[in-house]
Structure 1
Amino acid sequence: MTSTVPNAIEQPEGQQPPITMFGPDFPYAYDDFLAHPAGLGQVPATEHGTEIAVIGGGLSGIVAAYELMKMGLKPVVYEADRIGGRLRTVGFEGCDPSLTAEMGAMRFPPSSTALQHYIDLVGLETRPFPNPLADATPSTVVDLKGESHYAETMDDLPQVYRDVAEAWARCLEEGADFSDMNRALRERDVPRIREIWSRLVEKLDNQTFYGFLCDSDAFSSFRHREIFGQVGFGTGGWDTDFPNSILEILRVVYTEADDHHRGIVGGSQQLPLRLWEREPGKIVHWPYGTSLKSLHVDGAPRPAVTRLHRTAGNRITVTDAHGDIRTYRAAVFTAQSWMLLSKIDCDDSLFPIDHWTAIERTHYMESSKLFVPVDRPFWLDKDARTGRDVMSMTLTDRMTRGTYLLDDGPDRPAVICLSYTWCDDSLKWLPLSANERMEVMLKSLGEIYPGVDIRKHVIGSPVTVSWENEPYFMGAFKANLPGHYRYQRRLFTHFVQDRLPADKRGIFLAGDDISWTAGWAEGAVQTALNAVWGVMHHLGGTTDPTNPGPGDVYEEIAPVELPED
């Protein structure tokens, strides 16, 4: 387990199929689709070389562009900042280049099997991420209300934490059919998944995470709810998620998205960068040795998009920051959907009005991180009096909230993520510079570890990010509020366009905020593959009968539709 409060009933290893992000909203096997030797489909030869706009060079955009290129199309990628999006790995000025900080995505669950396909494809290595109480974490300190508890396993924490863990397990079982859904997901039992989830969506769409806890007899104690909010499950305290829809949380716990995390050695941004440069072994139309990089002038994406509109013949016309205007048969939009409301001048005719409403109602979470480079993993030094690590992975109700210790061996420089916070906790930092933030965090940690001089080990300037203040993001990731299920369904299902009026087709939405698993790279990959199918279908292409795509089986597994009246 990687949590102080388990998110699942533990099962014996090796006795069941693994949990994957197979549903519950749209139980389609994206991993099998990718692994099939027939490939993802083909377009008519007359369409080979057709340019397709891909707006956004994050993971979703690069995956979509890569797969469209393999089909013989010519993706034209637009990127306002840098390839990678929220897979952003940065260094520390003047320090060893091997020292990096993950400003966005930094840990990935094994249940992200479509994501893992691409990690393996480009030859990246992963290793366990040091989450609270994970096997890879030497020790964890839980510090609440001025009282600290040192733990190497869950059993080292006071009984109240185990009581909270048991309450969460009971709450999930009684209120969300956890064991039944767990079994159905492992077995990929589509009818059973849909039966359970349809009932829960109808019952819980209007419920908050906190309300779900309060409705459970298992969480009748306010103290237990408070501890659960501060310590949480998986990666730490989740009280910042309390106002969000409980459906968002169930998607995480059902699929073990917050468990058993691994990080990409050398940084997550390598994944989209390597895909950008990769020359596929199997490719249609283009000569061997073609890559996304080689298809773009000077090997770089086009600049930011400033205008999107429809033109004659139901084409999508794109204007970029250099004033270049190009018209396309189809386009894939993968940036944060709020960009369509603010940064990009858009025609109303791009989408049906109900989809515009869904875009406008999208709710993003704030998130901030602060990293510092240090001379060595000094936290592994032993306290002469207690024999314990002098510092640990730390969960606290102080300003730091979550502190992660990241090393590459005992004799090498290392990195501390001094703080990782969300929502209101993130907004508290917003006016502060990186150095001001560091001072606040060192003060908080000094109160937990009064005998440890962290500052003397710091060897460079801190790096920080507040995603809500990033001009091309305006938030870290989507998190639906109660009542938002219908909006999310409209966005996710937009790739199936046969029922849309002809003048509303041809632009496809993708990205983790379009997915059911926002905040997870798996959602970015899955919606990219949906968009690839959509473009292929739009151009008259088909999948191989032995490997139907997400749109081919859509009617059989479509997300439950709630009434509008």
Structure 2
Amino acid sequence: MTSAVPTNATTPDGPAKPITMFGPDFPFAYDDYVAHPAGIGSVPTAAHGTRVAIVGGGLSGMLAARELLRMGLRPVVYEADRIGGRMRSVPFEGHPGIVAEMGSMRFPPSSTTLFHYLDEMGLHTEAFPNPLSEATPSTVVDLKGETHFARTLADLPEVYTEVAEAWTRALEEHAELGALTEAIRARDTARLKEIWNELVRRYDDETFYGFLARSDAFKSFRLREIFGQVGFGTGGWDTDYPNSILEILRVVLTAADDHHRGIVGGSQQLPERLWSRPVSGAAHWPEGTSVQGLHDDGRPRPAVTEIRRTAGDRFTLHDADGRIDTFDLVVYTAQSWMLLNTIRTDEGLLPIDHWTAIERTHYMGSSKVFVLVDRPFWKDLDPATGREVMSMTLTDRMSRGTYLLDQGEGQPGLICLSYTWSDDSLKLLPLDAEARMDLMLKSLGAIYPGVDIRSHVIASPVTISWEAEKAFMGAFKANLPGHYRYQERLYTHFMQDRLPAECRGLFLAGDDVSWTAGWAEGAVTTALNAVWGVMHHLGGSTAPENPGPGDVFDEIAPLVLED
């Protein structure tokens, strides 16, 4: 129910340095890099105006486009659907300002590079009501037909405290939690890599479930079952049990599951503003130029249908409107699986080992169902108990996770009736929005028999299954055991001096090639890697006082496991 990492620790000298998403695989201080007054790099004047195709209009694509424009290049964005990618905020007609976050909806403060851009774009955040968080008035845990009301962990039966303590113990005994988090706080790269690289060697072939089952702390199947259904931080994690334990350790060590914030007005605003707002101080371009302003009619080009290499080491792209255009460079930020099916591609675009890594990438499905209600009725007090009539809910029923989202005084209320993953998401795939709502109301009716949720609904439900979205085919990448080698290849693709000459010029970015897939910070940092790669390819460089990720790569490179 709670993270094992104390993010607000203190020391004898005062508050400890915060935990950030610094590593552990590639501990580069991206937050310091983007905030440095010297900027993140420049290209020679002769390269100004070079056209770079950006495939994908999500957060990674928009950030790469903006930073390349800042360097004086000309980004050309292709987007299959809408600017935003999995930052998709769906409005309710007649209710301005209220949106259902169909993808990204909560962001840890440890995502310090992401928050740099949120601040730059003038966006604000507010505490997100995760289970048992300070922003959540109450939480209900409903497992195996037993329902428990809680304001803090101490209000739940003792077994839940046992589960939380078992998780902390397992991490301390088998993953050196304390030493790793201290190294991340101190940004002690040498110590961090020493410990983490050994854990990679030890656990690359281990599942999340196997890690728990081999721990003395989780000898009890009951504890493993409860932990899977209730979890820590944001809810149950049993849908992640088949995944690599390394994926889970990255989340825990970097406090990615702690103290989440939501973006006021919707997360889609961030990629939209990166697209539309003028870039101050850009090289080559007039003051006031935006990425959007460089596009015909202010719209991105449609979906890419083909990418092929052509003479002069250039790239020719076809789009859904039948337009054919050729570019010097490409930054590819869409789901990598699309290179295998919906986009015709030359095999020579990437080395064969990279194609294997893409082919073996494992994606997690995810679904959500939202309803708009006339008011936040859940705050009403039950006269018999004195408690709120409804709470943030975790359950083993079909709804799994239900979130109550207060929109402010005098506003309707918003309920995420269900947030599910993987197999739980697949169970909903054949059902339309109405059927999904009915199913979730049935589940919640068993937990809150005296509450008529349906009578408060004032708009049609909205839903999504990311695995059914043609341009996504899943919510995010999640490595399976043995996939570390594949991840290392994809993440380090921006270091193209190491690739055959005929495979250079197309740069992979996006959260599904990052070490922290599913977190916006990974989309941001891989975009910055690709920007550095483009800059380097064109003969550019960073300021000596602010080296980029490629400049220090050899010092902090991810571990390369032998075959």
With the shorter chain as reference, the TM-score category is over 0.9
Residue matched to 2:500:
501
For residues 375-434 of structure 1, give each alpha carbon's deviation from its aligned partner in whole angstroms, at most 9, with x where no partner exists: 111000000000000000000000000000001224210100000000110000000010
Superposed CA deviations along residues 2-36 of structure 1, whole A, max 9, x for unmatched, are xx243325753562000000000000000000000
Which aligned pairs between 1:63-462 and structure 2 lie closer than 5 A? 63-93=63-93, 95-462=94-461
Structure 2: distance between partners of 1:6 and 1:472: 33
On the 8 A contact 1:206/1:245 being kept in 2, the answer is: yes
Distance in 1 separating the partners of 2:99 and 2:384: 33
In 2, are the aligned partners of 1:5 and 1:228 still within 8 Å (CA)?
A: no
Distance 2:506 2:116 in 1: 26
Distance in structure 1 (CA, Å) of the matches to 2:21 and 2:40: 19
Contact 1:5 1:231 in 2 (8 A): no
**Matches of 1:557 and 1:244, distance apart in 2:** 26
SS at match of 2:65: helix
- Per the TM alignment, residue 465 of structure 1 is displaced from its structure 2 partner at its CA by 0.2
SS in 1 for 2:368: strand
Aligned AA (1:533): W
Alpha-carbon separation, structure 2, partners of 1:74 and 1:9: 44
Amino acid across the alignment from 2:15: Q
Aligned-partner Cα distance in 2 for 1:132–1:282: 43
AA aligned to 2:35 is A
CA distance in structure 1 between the aligned counterparts of 2:203 and 2:218, rounded to whole angstroms: 17
Q: Which residue in the other structure is 1:464 paired with? A: 463
Q: Match of 2:28, as an amino acid? A: Y
Q: Which residue of 2 aligns with 1:25?
A: 25
Q: Which residue of 1 aligns with 2:55?
A: 55
1-structure distance, mates of 2:316, 2:554: 31
Separation in 1 of the partners of 2:282 and 2:155?
55
Shift in Å, 1:207: 0.0
Q: Which residue identity lines up with residue 430 of structure 1 in the other structure?
A: L
- Give the SS at the match of 2:498: coil
Q: Which residue of structure 2 aligns with residue 12 of structure 1? A: 9
- Asked whether the equivalents of residues 66 and 291 of structure 2 are also in contact (C-alpha less than 8 Å), the reply is yes
1:245-275, CA deviations, whole angstroms, 9 ceiling, x for partnerless residues?
A: 0000000000000110000000000001111
Give SS of 1:386's match: coil
Instruction: Give 1:314 deviation, angstroms.
Output: 1.2
Residues 376 and 410, structure 1, Cα contact 8 Å, conserved in 2: no
Q: Is the 8 A contact 2:7 2:18 kept in 1?
A: no
Give the AA of the match of 1:214.
Answer: A
Tell me the SS of whatever aligns to 1:123. Answer: coil
Q: Output the CA distance in 2 between the equivalents of 1:204 and 1:334.
A: 29
Give, in whole Å, the separation in 2 of the partners of 1:209 and 1:220: 14
User: What is the rounded CA distance, in whole Å, between the counterparts of 1:195 and 1:423 in structure 2?
Assistant: 33
| Per-residue deviation, 1:326 | 1.3
Q: Is contact 1:92–1:463 with CA below 8 Å preserved after alignment?
A: no
Instruction: State the 1:97 CA deviation.
Output: 1.7
Output the CA distance in 2 between the equivalents of 1:363 and 1:143.
30
Cα distance between partner residues in 2 of 1:461 and 1:87? 21
- 4+ residue segments displaced more than 6 Å: none
Question: 1:206, 1:286 → 2: CA distance?
Answer: 50
Separation in 2 of the partners of 1:271 and 1:253?
25
The residue identity in structure 2 corresponding to 1:234 is G
Q: d(CA) in 1 for partners of 2:39 and 2:556?
A: 21
In 1, Cα distance between equivalents of 2:463 and 2:417: 10
SS at match of 1:464: strand
Q: Which residue identity does 1:12 align to in structure 2?
A: A
Hey, what's the Cα distance between the residues in 2 that align with 1:45 and 1:421? 50
Retained in 2: the 8 A contact 1:5–1:161? no
For residue 349 of structure 1, report the CA deviation from its aligned partner: 0.4
Q: Distance in 2 between matches of 1:408 and 1:315?
A: 50
Deviation at 1:543, TM superposition (A): 0.6
- In the alignment, the residues of structure 1 paired with residue 6 and residue 257 of structure 2 have an alpha-carbon distance, to the nearest angstrom, of 14
Residue identity opposite 2:490 in structure 1: L
Aligned residues of 2:392 and 2:403 also touching (Cα < 8 A): yes
Give 2:299's aligned amino acid.
A
CA contact (8 A) 2:368 2:416 kept: yes
Match of 2:109, SS state, is: coil
Q: CA deviation at 1:92?
A: 2.1
Aligned length in residues: 560
Q: Which amino acid aligns with 1:304?
A: A
Residues 285-305 of structure 1 show CA distances to partners (whole Å, capped at 9, x for unaligned) of: 000010011100000111100
Q: Distance in 1 between matches of 2:521 and 2:261?
A: 13
The 2-side partners of 1:5 and 1:495 are apart by 36
What is the Cα deviation at residue 282 of structure 1?
1.3
Partner of 1:554: 553
* TM-score normalised according to structure 1 size: 0.98
Which amino acid counterpart does residue 485 of structure 2 have in structure 1?
R
Distance across 2 between alignment mates of 1:204 and 1:330: 37
Q: Distance in 1 between matches of 2:322 and 2:411?
A: 48
SS in 2 for 1:99: strand
The one-character-per-residue Cα deviations of 1:175-220 (angstroms, maximum 9, x if unpaired) are 1000000100000000000000110000000000000001100000
Letter in 1 for 2:225: E
Aligned equivalents of 2:411, 2:491: Cα separation in 1: 45
Q: Does the 8 Å contact 1:394/1:403 carry over to 2?
A: yes
**Counterpart secondary structure, 1:263:** strand
The answer (yes or no) to whether the contact 1:355–1:490 under 8 Å persists in 2 is: yes
1:558 Cα deviation after fit: 0.3
* 1:522-555 residue CA offsets vs partner (Å, 9 max, x unmatched): 0000000000000000011111111100000000
**1:394–1:404 CA contact under 8 A, matched in 2:** yes
Which amino acid letter does the alignment assign opposite residue 519 of structure 1?
G
Q: How far off is 1:107 after superposition?
A: 0.3
State the secondary structure of the residue aligned to 2:331: strand
